[in-house]
Amino acid sequence: MYDELVINLGGMDKIRKFDSVSGIVTCDAGVILESLDNYLAELGYTVPLDLGAKGR
Amino acid sequence: MCPVGLTVLHLLAVMTIGRRTLLAAARIPLAYLQVVRASVASRELARTYASSTTRGSYTSLTPKHVADLSGLLTNSGTILTSLEGNSEHITSNLLPNRLSEGTPGQKVTTDELDGFNIDWMGKYRGHSKVIIKPKSTQEVSAIVKYCYDNNIAVVPQGGNTGLVGVSL
């Protein structure tokens, strides 16, 4: 709100690993929730977190 | 499958309230316009909380900080800034090669930073002059360490899609 340094994690958007047995996904901090949800939907999984702010 | 008697009743009911329905329908576009107008206005007046809080005693960023931070980006992360005199400083002192590639320390106008300074709903506005976009956790770590050592305030931002103004 003043003149902070904005650390934008938009560049860190890799989904690294998904283990379908344990249902654990490993991804970067900048992954957009909607992208992750779309990626997992193809595999028959869903993110157990649904926010109004989830994507663009 | 609807009995005829009921259909007639329905028809009568529709005729009775028809006038009212039409009036209501006519109001919809007007309401829609008002919503659109309100959202445009809020974008223009993007609110800042600066008036209701006080700035902490943090360091103000200078071109030297930008140059130092650029040096920390070892994995092709980028840095955008609207600080004046930044690019000359970097070019002459520290990163002639990397700057010529147009990646780190890219000079932009204040308008170009609006995408990072105005929230998803267009409701809140920040005034940051430097945006850093790391590409790896090592870069994030180095940046945060540098900021801590130099007493620089930071805001972590993801897709800037939050709806409550915390990402700026």
Size of chain A, expressed as the number of residues it contains: 56
The CATH number of B51-149 is 3.30.43
pLDDT one-digit tens code per residue, B47-59:
666 566 788 899 9
Inter-chain touch B159–A10, beta carbons under 8 Å: yes
End-to-end CA distance of chain A: give it in Å, rounded.
23
Nearest beta carbon to residue A53 from set B55, B154, B161: B161
What residues have CB less than 8 Å from A44, skipping those under 6 apart? Answer: none
Distance from CA of A12 to the nearest CA of B (A): 5
pLDDT in tens, A15-35: 999 999 999 999 998 888 889
Cross-chain residue pair B155–A5, CB shorter than 8 Å = yes
Query: Residue B95 contacts by C-beta under 8 Å, 6 or more apart in sequence?
Result: B67, B70, B71, B104, B105
Place B25 in a pLDDT band, splitting at 50, 70 and 90: low
Summarize pLDDT for A33-52 with one digit per residue, the tens: 889 999 999 999 999 888 77
Provide the shortest C-alpha distance from residue B62 to chain A (in Å).
11
**Minimum CA–CA partner of B69 in chain A:** A5
User: With an 8 Å Cβ cutoff, is B10 touching chain A?
Assistant: no
For chain B, how far is it from start to end, CA to CA, in angstroms?
Answer: 58
- Would you tell me how many other CB atoms lie within 10 Å of the CB of residue A3? 18
Q: Are B158 and A28 in contact (CB under 8 A)?
A: no
Residue B111 to residues B48, B74, B100, B117, B119: CA-CA distances in angstroms?
A: 16, 27, 23, 9, 14
Among B39, B85, B45, CA closest to B65: B85
Q: Which residue has the tokens 């003149």?
A: A3
Task: Mark out chain A residues that contact chain B at CB-CB < 8 A.
Answer: 1-12, 29-30, 32, 52-56
